[in-house]
A = this chain, B = another copy of it.
């Protein structure tokens, strides 16, 4: 009790000795074995275990069994604000399934992701969940990443990607293109014609898809967006802020700014306000994601609700299901939520 790190963890053998049985029996009694143990021994072993405060050594179990039951997740480039919903969804589902999940963040690059997956593999987890952040071009590192993942799967592991349709693994896909197109369509329906797109990083897959959706959705309603009206910027609040500044410098200001995400939209709003504009009177703004904490702010932001937490849960479900021959695809779609920030033009 005095010196630190003095005691040593109690092992299964300790329990067995205490209960007066063999380690084999103790093992069978304490964990779900196919073999049965006589009732009397059963209770004696359990009693000994609680008396001694025995906690099974998962590492040892993993090596004896050849594979652990843990789950691993790589979060690609956590954004302080934004990392939450999908990770929270996964964690909550894991809680319900009584699992632990090991998280590791990769600095947003596929190179890191490959290394990180390799590190994860060393844990021999049951499944690896990959969240977000591929880039547009299929780089050499992307290939490495896929290879690494494929090797893992080859060894009996499960791989689930979130939001990354196109990988040869089980995938939970949030249809970014459709979400953006729906929103754009709705905006066109409200009468907006001159729109500027805050497009996020040029090389991020998600950003790219959303921009594509915006453009397509508007085009469908006869609204063309000249390439000069697609502004690239960071994927966060500051990105939106500075891109909005750029926007202000245009001769003919837009009627509507379509931001690639709510966070970017918030940054833009801040910049517009700073310039003395009154929202939504002077400028309409919409985003994508429907970040919860933003639902109540003024002007309430028009957005597309994307079921991120549900996607996390779905990913975990897939991860827990046994591998099948064909990669499965769970597709989730968002729906447009009209709020005050886009009152519309014709009707106003």
**What residues make up the interface of A, taking CB atoms closer than 8 Å to B?**
1, 4-9, 53, 55-60, 62-63, 68, 70, 75, 78, 80-85, 87-88, 91-92, 94-95, 100-107, 118-124, 151, 153-156, 237, 262-263, 266-267, 269-270, 273, 291-299, 309, 323, 325
Contacts and interface: CB of A to CB of B under 8 A. Distances in A.
A70 to B, nearest CB: 7
20 contacts: A4-B325, A5-B153, A5-B323, A6-B154, A9-B155, A55-B118, A58-B123, A59-B59, A80-B85, A81-B293, A87-B87, A94-B104, A95-B104, A95-B105, A102-B102, A237-B292, A263-B293, A269-B296, A291-B293, A297-B297
A189 to B, nearest CB: 27
Contacts of A8: 155
B4 A151 contact: no
Given A91-B78, A156-B5, A293 B273 contact: no
A128 to B, nearest CB: 12
Chain A: interface secondary structure?
Answer: mixed
Contact of A100 (B120, B151, B155): B120
B103 A101 contact: yes
* A-B pairs with lowest CB-CB distance, top 7: A5-B156, A297-B297, A59-B62, A270-B296, A84-B84, A102-B102, A59-B59
By CB atoms of chain B within 10 A, which of A59, A153, A269 has the most?
A59
A298 B280 CA distance: 12
Contacts of A104: 91, 94-95, 100-101
A261 to B, nearest CB: 11
Given A60-B63, A81-B291, A91-B103, 7 more contacts: A5-B154, A7-B155, A8-B155, A9-B124, A58-B123, A80-B292, A100-B123
Given A9-B124, A53-B151, A107-B95, A293 B293 contact: yes
A166 B325 CA distance: 54
A50 B59 CA distance: 25
Contact of A293 (B60, B105, B120, B266): B266
Contact of A58 (B94, B122, B291): B122
A304 to B, nearest CB: 17
Contacts of A323: 4-5
Contacts of A237: 292-293, 295-296
